[in-house]
Amino acid sequence: MRNYKALFLDIDGTILLPSHTIQPSTIKAVKQVKTKGIEVFLATGRPLHEIDWIAKVLDVHSYIGYNGAYASIKNDVIVNKAIPKQVVDHYYHVSKKLGHEMVLYTADKNLFTSLQAKMVQDFIGYFDLKKNDLFEPNRTQDILGITIMGATREDLKLYETKEPIYFSQVNVEGLTDNYDVIRKNVNKGSAIQQVLESLSISTESAIAFGDGMNDKHMLQVVGEGFAMGNAHPELFNFAKHRTTSVGEDGIFNGLKSLSIIP
């Protein structure tokens, strides 16, 4: 068995079930992995101020958040890259013009362009977001991540700037036309590379599990990349392995296939 050193786990659709619960098999698997000296990271598009309870349940203390804009190993910050202010300004004006809503994530808040719109209420409800406030244009320099709500693929062309960005549809049943804004040079994969370099761990010794297209860079840069059975269909093209779904012990079964856990 290869000497694995790091494990990166997406949250929604990978760790979390649609019911916002974690399967006992996942908790068991993470605990067993840690006894082998493998450093476990939560690697998510979510803001880190919204995942405290998940980290506590899994006893995890290292993170990649905001789709790779921030990363820390325990209390040591490795990556902290805000979206350029001019890009945020452009997105704000386009969203107002097209009637879309957005959530813009800072280090401590989820800033929404509206708190009353139904699509916003549905989004807040699904992800059980707690630290919500209205976005104000004077916060444009603090934004680590953005999700656009209510947009079509055709609409997204109007958001394009010189900044190399792509749009990843949120892989959640019941929430349509929601897209994470992913920077091609700031993503989960680039954050993992920086984390591994700081730990002197080779990419071949790292494992990752994900289900959305915002996980594609992450699955590509590690030695063992797993797409969950419930993953976005296109994600399977970027994963070395396919495991079972989040509701069918996907993380446990994937780690077992590598003989990391019995």
Residue 155 lies in a domain: yes
Residues 189-201, mean pLDDT to the nearest whole number: 97
By CB atoms closer than 10 A (0-12, 13-18, 19+), residue 32 is middle
State residue 1's pLDDT score: 61
Q: Is the pLDDT of residue 91 over 90?
A: yes
Q: What is the mean pLDDT of residues 37-59?
A: 96
Tens-place pLDDT, residues 7-31: 999 999 999 998 999 999 999 999 9
Distance in angstroms (rounded) separating the CA atoms of residues 14 and 253: 12
Contacts 24+ apart (CB under 8 A), 108-113: 108/49, 109/47, 109/49, 109/133, 110/47, 110/50, 111/135, 111/136, 111/139, 111/143
Considering the domain boundaries, does residue 222 fall inside one? Answer: yes
Identify the residue whose tokens are 């013009």: 97
Identify the domain containing residue 157 by its residue range.
85-183
- Do 92 and 179 lie in one domain? The reply is yes
Check: pTM over 0.75? Answer yes or no: yes
Q: Identify the residue whose tokens are 């269909």.
A: 233
pLDDT in tens, 139-186: 999 999 999 999 999 999 999 999 899 999 997 777 779 999 999 899
pLDDT, residue 144, reads 96
Q: Tell me, what CATH number does 155's domain have?
A: 3.30.1240.10
Quote the pLDDT of residue 174. Answer: 75
Check whether residue 179 and residue 96 sit in a common domain: yes
**C-beta atoms surrounding 40 within 10 Å:** 21
Q: Do residues 73 and 201 both lie within one domain?
A: yes
Query: Does residue 70 sit in the same domain as residue 102?
Result: no
Q: Are residues 195 and 210 in the same domain?
A: yes
